[in-house]
Chain A
Amino acid sequence: MSTTLLDALKRYFGFDQFREGQEAVIRDVMDGKDVLGILPTGTGKSLCYQLPARLLHGTTIVVSPLISLMVDQVKQLKAAGYKSVTALNSFMDGQEKKQVMQNLERYDLVYISPEMLQNDRLQEELCRMTIPLFVIDEAHCISQWGHEFRTDYLKLHRIIDAIGSPTVLALSATATPEVQADIMEKLHRPAMNRRIYPMDKQNISLSVEEVHSPEEKTARIVDLLSHIHAPTMIYFSSRQWAERVSVVLREKLSHRTAFYHGGMEQTDRMLVQQQFMNGQLDVICCTSAFGMGVDKKDIRLVIHFHLPSQTESFIQEIGRAGRDGKPSASLVLFTKKDHYLPQMLIQSELPEREQLDIALGYLKRREGQKIPEDESIMEQLQLSESQWNFIKYQSEESGVLIDGMVQPFPFDFESRIHALLRERWTYKQGKLTEMMTWIHHTGCRREALYSSFQDHIRPPDVPCCDVCGFSVDHLTLHGLKETPQAGSWKERLQMIFHQGHPHA
């Protein structure tokens, strides 16, 4: 079996060997076993279903939460010669969607957003098809305790049963044992084969530094990068800061620097990503929107100008460094006031008590009526998407909302939803506290960061962390490929049409 799998790997993807975890997961899947795979970022999670999709008869379905990620993956697969793949999402126009839907069976691999999957016509179509494998990517989204809870994920088990219970593969890069159990429970698949791989990166040194102001953070980055010339990512929690710091870095350093965030125009976003991949950029100042689907192997340094609101996100973000296995580092810069930003992030994710009361009153007044579109409700009640999602999902679960119609409230509905809200707040605050505690931790950072995910922490191949004596100032990283700059327009055209790729 394994030799034929290896042959297939070579033939379809051009690799000579599997990375850690891939082969075991693929073998399980090919044998028809349900699998929960926890493989850290950068280990080629997606190959675990891309290869089986080629080998299995029928169409493999992949549920993926981020449309941009889906589109990126399809593009990359097509670029690599994997043609029978497509993505269905709500951003496609009617015509496009119709065309893909009518020809679903022709594809080996179809990415679908969880929202799209609720579409009745699509479900009918899926029931008629042969589906050997149903994949849930970013499976932590199914868990309320996961860091990106998505209510649509909770409905997945019904769909899996409706389409004839194909083999299920749930994948995630970060899931605590608590979340892992929750994934299996919510999927109604208690006997999944668990394939859990350690997420501690042995080639990444960790460090945290306290400064007094955002300006000091910027100054520290300038100082540090003036002797580090290697592909670097800097994470921000706001678009404005990402832009602002990128301007300063361009002024003060020779590094080719750009910013990237979700507010940019689509073409420019793609260009920045491609430039970074292509070695035309050295430093990216970005929000968490960057990185999903960016598979650059030689990122040497990940700096956090702002912290995410939980360790799971942090682990994923630093995991973008050193995918080639070579020595890399993570640096967190923080000030005493820094917990305010993630605090605000949490506030935008969950409704306040008063907001919940207003929303419940709104629903009550519409008993027996159909409620308007989501956008219009969010507008009227001044709720963010995830705030409204929370209320809507809980209402649906309690039978208060059925097909958009408001039903009479059960007697304890209001107190129950308030209790749930308190629970979620406490939970999110707890996650934030965990992140903040890590910042102020006085023991080994590696131990503290990974211990809730795995029992045994492996010894690193590089200096461990600042507590264990590492400092980013000791780093000597020279990973930059100098690319020639085009001067005039004529040179530029010559480069495009004649000289070819300098690395090819």
Chain B
Amino acid sequence: MFESIVLLCIKRFKGERTVSGIFNMLTGKRSSQTMQDAKAYQLDHMFGVFPELERRKLDNAIDQMAGREEVVVNEEGFPNLTDKGTDHLQTQRASSSAYFQGMQWHEVLPAFISRLNLLIQASSNKEAGIQSYVAIVDQPGAQAWVKKVFGTFQDKLPRLNQSLYEELVRLLSNHDPVQTELFTHRLTGGGWIGLTVDQLKEKYRLSREDILLGLRHTYYYLFQQAKKDKEAYPVLHLCTRGLQSSHLVTASAGKTYQLIEQGLSLEEIVTVRRLKKSTIQDHIVEAALVTPDFDVSPFLSAEQVEEINQKAMDLNTQRLKHIHQDLGGVYDYFEIRLALAHGRSTAQRERKPSS
């Protein structure tokens, strides 16, 4: 799974991004560059799905792929897929990572994981009559949440426990079988202590990376199914309550965006915020990427946006340098990035209803 995700990133990046670009994508680095890349190369679902990833593991994986001639790394250090790599990627079951929605949910997923793990432990222990145990989750937020749930349900707790069990069985019956094994053996509750990553590694003969990704993917799956269907999965839905998808504008970009909405020009914002012009430009591009109906007219006309996007499509690239040169240097890099960002978020909105 880890390998196929790395292959997918390499494929989508089309040899235009370094290994660091992949690393930042999977670990969810909060930078304008990474967030723009996520949109530009259609990798938003992979943004931040592997926060535990170690850089050297990624380097090793790419070295091995290069050794198997699935990937070539060019002199600039940009990896690209070979035909062999493309074939390998096609043989992978897409279903094993189909539920990743990193850009949308990566921020709130940890809270869901903590709540669910602790609720399972607390509820099943109560059912088993175990009163004294060490909580598997330390986060005060999750502990307070479970306490509240217990307070609300009180004598209906046995029913909550039963429903939680049935909901999990139903959802897991339709999930990737290996990931389901990992998930259930990792759980603690009812007098059973979950397995460590090392124990899972040995039991299922998988790499640490595949285990962590498999577990995380299962939580993404449970989260989204439960979020969607309150009737079918009432208890799991409860675990998702109040966890909202993020618009992912960094706090600083958010401030810049407010000033734009108030009608300040780029230069005025630079003065007011005492930041570098390039930083403010980053913020504007970031806002254009994630804000529906972002108004680019202070910076570019509709025709200009169209021209730049058309050029990117003709050249089949996201590399600013190529687009800049091919358009005869008329537009600066900021304008090109903004046009691409805007074009994409518009295109995505238009695509959505049909998909």
Contacts and interface: CB of A to CB of B under 8 A. Distances in A.
Interface of A: 75-76, 79-81, 96, 250, 258-259, 264-265, 267-268, 270-272, 274-275, 278, 280, 486, 488-490, 492-493, 495-504
A489 B172 contact: yes
Given A79-B133, A497-B124, A268 B198 contact: yes
B320 interface: no
Contacts of B181: 488-489
Given A272-B196, A490-B169, A495-B192, A79 B184 contact: no
Given A278-B191, A496-B192, A501-B128, A489 B197 contact: no
A500 B183 CA distance: 19
B208 to A, nearest CB: 10
A275 B129 CA distance: 19
B189 A496 contact: yes
Interface string B153-165: 0000000011011
Interface string B120-134: 100010011110111
Given A268-B197, A493-B169, A493-B184, A504 B130 contact: yes
Given A258-B199, A271-B195, A496 B132 contact: no
Given A278-B191, A496-B187, A497-B190, A504 B196 contact: no
A287 B272 CA distance: 57
Contacts of A489: 172, 177, 180-181, 183-185
Contacts of A80: 132
A275 B193 contact: yes
A274 B134 contact: yes
B140 interface: yes
A495 B125 CA distance: 11
12 contacts: A258-B199, A271-B194, A274-B188, A274-B193, A486-B185, A488-B181, A489-B172, A490-B169, A493-B165, A493-B184, A496-B189, A498-B190
Main secondary structure of the interface of A (DSSP, over half): helix
Interface in B175-230: 177, 180-181, 183-185, 187-199, 202
A496 B193 contact: no
Contacts of A488: 181
Contacts of A486: 184-185, 192
A488 B184 CA distance: 9
Nearest 3 Cβ contacts at the A-B interface: A501-B191, A500-B128, A268-B196
A265 B197 contact: yes
Interface residues of B, number: 39
Contacts of B183: 489
B140 to A, nearest CB: 7
Contact of A495 (B120, B136, B190, B197): B190
B98 interface: no
B188 A96 contact: no
Given A75-B135, A274-B134, A502-B191, A492 B184 contact: yes
Given A250-B202, A270-B134, A504-B129, A497 B165 contact: yes
B193 A79 contact: no
B168 interface: yes
Interface of B: 120, 124, 127-130, 132-136, 140, 161-162, 164-165, 168-169, 172, 177, 180-181, 183-185, 187-199, 202
Contact of B120 (A259, A267, A278, A496): A496
B127 A270 contact: no
A275 B135 CA distance: 13
Nearest to B175: A489
Given A75-B135, A504-B130, A498 B165 contact: yes
Nearest to A274: B193
Contacts of A504: 128-130, 191
Contacts, number: 101
Contacts of B136: 267, 270
Nearest to A95: B140
Nearest to B182: A489
Given A258-B198, A265-B197, A497 B127 contact: yes
Contacts of B188: 271, 274
B100 to A, nearest CB: 21
B123 to A, nearest CB: 8
Counting chain B CB atoms within 10 Å of each CB, the highest count among A81, A278, A493, A500 belongs to: A493
B199 to A, nearest CB: 7
Contact of B191 (A272, A490, A492, A500): A500
Contacts of B164: 497
B190 A500 contact: yes
A497 B164 CA distance: 9
A496 B195 contact: no
Contacts of A503: 191
B130 A501 contact: yes
Nearest to A269: B196
A81 B132 contact: yes
B233 to A, nearest CB: 15
A245 to B, nearest CB: 14
A502 B128 CA distance: 9
Contacts of A264: 196
Contacts of A502: 191
Counting chain B CB atoms within 10 Å of each CB, the highest count among A80, A250, A267, A496 belongs to: A496
Contacts of B202: 250
Contacts of B177: 489
A271 B186 CA distance: 10
A497 B184 CA distance: 11
A495 B190 CA distance: 7
B248 to A, nearest CB: 23
B76 to A, nearest CB: 33
A284 B136 CA distance: 20
A267 B195 CA distance: 10
Contacts of B120: 496
Nearest to B165: A497
A217 B186 CA distance: 33
A492 B180 CA distance: 11
Contacts of A274: 134, 188, 193
Contacts of A272: 196
A89 to B, nearest CB: 13
Contacts of A497: 124, 127, 161-162, 164-165, 189-190
A268 B212 CA distance: 13
Contacts of A259: 198
A278 B129 contact: no
Contact of B140 (A79, A96, A275, A493): A96
A493 B168 contact: yes
Nearest to A280: B193
Contacts of B172: 489, 493
A440 B140 CA distance: 52
Contacts of A79: 132-135
Contacts of A278: 191-193
A502 B172 CA distance: 25
A283 B107 CA distance: 39
Contacts of B190: 495-501
